[in-house]
Structures are given as structure tokens and as C-alpha cells.
Structure 1
Amino acid sequence: MTKFLPSLFLLFSIVFFSCNSSDDDFTDGGGKVAVILGDFEITVDAITMTTATVNWTEAAASDKSKVTYDVLINDKLIAEGIVENTYALDNLTLNTEYELKIVARGADDAFVDRIFFFTTIGTAPSLFPLSYTDNGCTVAFIDWEAPTVEDGSSYSYETFVNGIFVRGYSQSNVGLNFLVNEGELNTVKIVAKTFNGAETSEEITFFKEVCPTPSAFDISVSNITSSTARLDWTAATMEDGSAVRYFIKVNGIGYPAGNVSLGETFLNLQSLERDTMYDIVITAESVDNSKTSEATLSFTTTNEYPVHPTFTVTEAILYTKNSSALAKQLRITFSEPIGDKVIIGIVSGEIEIGNFTMNSNSILTNAFSDTEYDQIRAAGDGYVLVEIEGTFYQLDFAISDSTL
């Protein structure tokens, strides 16, 4: 048995060695572990027409050994063996694209490289002093002479009012209107920026005068009926004596229609609804500068309908409780035949009467209850509601008794 012990020891040694070797180790073929360099990133900033600053992150070596860097521009070696992670480029050509390569080198000839493209800026646009012209309330017109660019690059504008970006414009613009604040100092800044990254800015500061506003005015309403009313208002005036026009809104809708303006200081309202509240807003607007002032008023139309000029009630007879044939009935006679007129109903006191028969020029109600009769007789009057060609009219009457 003892003659097999050396073989068992050899087998145990092989197994033990295999279990303690790392699968992640890399060798150079001769059994030595190879050095691995980590990834890194490049940035280029502070770019001018002839210079730029290059920065990159560290490409760490797997054995923690020292790493150096080479810098190449368009495959031409500019610097080598750098231990820092930054390098200043100079003597570049303006408005030119460059291929930048950084090569990280470690022990045993290990290396890794990265490439980055950047473009130097070109020549900036020439100066273009700004001029200001008052172009109406809240509007400033700014114009300038178009700048030139030595290298011929195209450019565009960015505009700012009081430090706030407004929008961009094409190079063809040499004058723009801006909305500004009245009664304040305003600053307009315009930046001419070339597509090669260079820029020139100009500013102008000015005081914007306050435009005059129409004076305050008062509204009154009169002649209110169930469907009409008259509006009158005092004239709004301008300090400089310029003209004022008026816009009227009735319950939020332009009257007589849309944005129709008036030069007068009165208006007759038509086709209103009975027993309805109306909110009136009259806006006085300066013809010259569009500044405005407002006045408001509310009123309610009456609960009565208009009176027809020719179709009226000529007689209203309430037959008494003792009448032989038409006891407790009401006969209403009109000034002309009913024809195609529509009798809607009859109202007397608190009693609304809807049951009646029609003759050529009169109507006769059904018999009332004693209570209804007493209420109608006590009221002593009433009205007939009639529709004629789409318009409702109220025909008033006074009641007389009859014992027939």
C-alpha cells in the first residue's frame, strides 16, 4: 500500500493549484499577467480662433502602475509622456475642424486611445451700433447696420429685452419691433452669432414714455322696457385732444355686432329679453394708440311686453255669477280681426287663463270657479299676450261687469 502514496500527493497538489487560479487573469503568453488600461473620456472647452483646452479622465492601469498620455492633432504628435489630464492647444487655425487623439500608455506597452473632433471658432461679426425709435405705445423699433464677418461665415441674431430672451432671427433682419415697458428704462440686447461659434453683441437702453389713456366716463340707462333700453355715457377724452371710439358689449357679446365701434355717446338697445339682467361694458379706445378705459353698468328689463300700435283690446266684459247665459266668463273684444295672430294667454291679477274659444275678433273664456271669479273681479284689469310676426305684445284691458 505504501508504494502508492507519492501518486496521491501529486494528484492533491494539482487539484489545489487549479482551485486557486483566477479565471479573470490575462497573461502575455509567457505566463506573466498583462496590464489592462481602463476607458476614459475627452472634453474640449475654452475654444477660441487659435486655442483650445483639452481635458480627459484617467485611464487607470489594472496593476495601478503609472499611465502617461500622448496628444495627437490630425495624427500629428503634439506632446507625449504627459502625466497630467489636461493640455492646452495653441497655434490652431480659425474656423477649422480638428481630429484630436489622446493615447494612454501603461507598462508593458499597454495602451488605449480615444478620438474627439472639435472646430475652432471663426472671426466674430463686426460691431453694429443700435438705434431706437418710439413706434407707439409699448413698442420700440430697434435698427442697425448689418455687421460683416471677415471669414465670410453666415450668422443669425438672438434678441433680449430687459435680460429676457425673446427669439432668434435670420441674418436678413436689420430692424425689429419689440414690446417694452412704458414709464421705465428698457434695455434691448442683440447678439449676432456666426455658425462658426463667434459672436458680437450690442445693447441700447432708453426710456419709454407713457402713452395717454382715455379719461374715465360714466354710463346711464333709461327708457327700459321689456325689450328695449337706451344707454348714454359721458365722453371720454384724451389729453392731446385726439379721437376716441367706443365698443359696447352686452352680456359679454359685442353690440350691435362683433367689433363694431361707435363715435356717438348713446345707443338704443333692441330685441332684449323681458325680465332679464344685462351687464353692459363700454370700452373707450384711443384711435391713435389703442389705449383703453372701461365703464360698466347693469340693469334688468321689465316684466311687461311692448304694446302693439294698432291691435288693441276695445272691451273686456266679466259676466257676473247671476248672468243667465255666460255666468263667470270673460269676453275680450279686439280692435281688428284676430286672423293669423296667435293668442298665447290671458293674465288678470294672479290668475293665468289658458282655456278660451276664439271668434273672428274676440275670445271667450271658460267659466271660472267662484274663487277665480272673485280674484279677477277684484283685480279689475289684466292683459292679453299675443304673438304677431314673431314678436310678443301685451294688450292691456280694464274689466267691466255684465249681468246678461
Structure 2
Amino acid sequence: MTIYNFAAGPAVLPKPVLEQVQKELLDYDHSGMSILEISHRSQLFTDLYADTKARLKQLMNLGDDYDVLFLQGGATLQFTMVPLNIATKHHRAAYIDSGHWSVRAIEEAGKVPGVQADIVATSKASGYTEIPQFPDVLKDTYDYLHITTNNTIEGTAYQQLPQTTTPLVADMSSNFLGQQYDFTKFDLIYAGAQKNLAPAGLTIVVLKKQLLTDPNHPKNLPAMLDYTALANKDSALNTPPVFQIYMANLVLQWLETQGGVAGIAQLNQKKAALLYNFLDSSKLFNNPVKPAQRSLMNVPFLTPDKATDAKVIQAATAAGFLNLKGHRSVGGLRASIYNAMPFTGVEKLVNFLMDFEAQHQ
């Protein structure tokens, strides 16, 4: 039986990448050592680091005015690091509240001494079934505007970026490199890698270099929380997550073979359309999200009651469709169809759901 993993994260990785890891795990780059054993001070790692950074920037169409950091602590640590490092002129940060992870980011920013975190738009009243409307009235009163581009739990995503003159910051954890944006519109992007890029333990931060030399940048931050200090040491103030960076490099190479971000986004649209079209025609299953703002990555759906939800999950698991249980805060079901989920997996899931519905009319 073929297994399809629809987990929201840690999530499915490309099979060719896993096969390559398996093949060379005992001998990385003819060194006689495993990638798990090499020193982060070695030329082997230095070359890997440089190549990974170059591939990432090329896929994002970013130039030399951007830097990339490979950090630890997950996107959750970035909820604190972002305001610490860049809410330094006005000491005010604007947040658009589009769901659970936006709320978490707002809460953590509000704990940073001297920083005011303001909610400037929210879709809480609708149960986060849409992206909030945002008229840009911020002017020059905030250090940045923060958005969560894809809401993993609620299943919404930005299809159009906010029009703003305020520096734009994004938590892009769950649609990083899976959806096309003009990445040059962002001053800073961060993403936990365990959705679309690598195993858990790596966090990507892509930021404009001018943020590293801004005269308002605080001079007394702890080094491990300081973007400038981390950039000056090529993300190696302490031992970086070598294996995760290696895995990210392989996934980036795989992504290049898929036609880059544009190519994989086209495939993701095809996968999502197949699943959403079924849900919209179904009499048993329902997706609550406003169609124009549906996520390409995370598709939540419901049956009329929790008992039926549980029956679907049990039958799906037995059939090889794993991790379809919805997040505990919203219940129901959720299929996460990240870059590495093949079209065949979504096609077979839809066929399974159709059969289940036919048998439970």
C-alpha cells in the first residue's frame, strides 16, 4: 500500500531527495564522512552553505541587496527576534491578524520591552475564513507591517500583497517557495523549514542587508538574537543545523528541476483546484474558506459532525492517507498538500473521499 502523508508539519519531503540522502549518508561528497559528522568549520560545510544561499536567492529572484540566515528556534523565535532587531525607530509594529499564528506573533512582539504591537486589521469576526481587508493608513508611524502569508490552520493565504509604504515583514513558513510572490516587496521574510523545505530544526531568514547596518539597530542585543552578529558570522555563531541545511540544499536542487517557484506553484494550483472542486461539489464535505483567499498548501474541510469526521479519518488512515486530522483548535480534517505532495496523492485522496461519500449517503 502506498502511503501519502498529508501532515501540516513536519511534512512530506520529495522522494528523490530522501533517496539521495539515503545513498550518500555514509559518505558525503567523497569525504569518507557522513554529513552528520562534518565540521561546520570545514570547507565542506562552507561550500555547502554558500551554495545553499546562492540557490535560494536565485529561486527567489533576489540580488546582492539581500542576505540569508540559516538559524534555529523555529518561526516562533522570530516572533521575538523581528521586533528586537527592527522595531527600533518608532518602537511600534503593525500586525495583520489572519489567524492562530498571527496571534502568536502579536503576543510575542508585545512582550518585547519598549515595543508596541498594534493590530491594524483582523478577520477574527469571520472566524478567520478570509484575509483581512487592509487600507494603508500607517504612514511613517510604524517600523514594519507584519503579515502571515499562509495560515496553516485556517487554510487562507494572501493572493495579493498589501499595498503599503511601511517595510513589509512576513511569516512565510507554510507556503515558502510554494506560491509566487514578488519577494523584492519584502524587507524581511522568515520561515520554519519543516513545511516545504527541510526537516524541523532550521529557520530561514531572508532580509535586506540595509537592516543589518541601520543606525537604529540596537547595539546591546544578545549575540544569538542579533541578525547583524549572526550575519557577520555566516549563521555560525554556534554550531548551525548542518544536516538540515544539507537537506534544504537538496530540496532547492529538486525545486529547480520542477521549474523553480513558478513551476511548482503551477502544479500546486492544479492540486489545490482538484481538491477544492471536489469539496465545493460535495454534499458531505465542506470547506469554509472564502474561495478567492484559499490556501494552496493547507485545505481544511468538515463533515456535518465530529463523529463523521472521526470515521473519515479512521478509514483514510486504513487506506494509507495519513495525518488528515484537523488542528485541535478548529477540528474537522485538513489536507496539507505542500510542494513534495505529488498530484497523484491528491487525486487518490479525492477518489477516496468520493467513495466514502457514496457509501455514507
Q: Which has the higher contact order (CA 8 A, sep 6+)?
A: 2
TM-score normalised over the length of structure 1: 0.17
TM-score normalised over the length of structure 2: 0.18
Higher-Rg member (1/2): 1
Structure with bigger helix share is: 2
Structure with bigger strand share is: 1
